[in-house]
Amino acid sequence: MTANRRPDPEPLETDDVAIVTFGAVLWVVALVLTLVLNQELAEQDRDSWVWVAAAGSFLGLVGVRYVRRRRARR
């Protein structure tokens, strides 16, 4: 089965640092909001959301550092 296949497209050039930084900023905003609303979240038994936002913020910052270092190596 040999069908004619079109060639793969060229990869798109993206600004990975901007994309990952935007995501990390969103996680930090979520962390601030959950800290502000901590009492209401605890009353609804959703106090673990603070830890989820904290983990997302931390991993987002690790990701920003990673993509910046990767861009510097290129």
Average pLDDT over residues 61-74: 95
| The pLDDT value given to residue 4 | 86
Q: What is the pTM of this model?
A: 0.81
Query: In whole angstroms, what is the distance from residue 54 CA to residue 57 CA?
Result: 5
Dump pLDDT digits (tens) for 10-61.
999 999 999 999 999 999 999 999 999 999 999 999 999 999 999 999 999 9
24-43 exposure pattern, b = at least 16 Cβ within 10 A, e = fewer? beebbebbeebeeeeeebee
Q: What is the DSSP string of 23-69?
A: HHHHHHHHHHHHHHTHHHHHHTT-THHHHHHHHHHHHHHHHHHHHHH
pLDDT at residue 1 is higher than 70: no
pLDDT at residue 2 is higher than 70: no
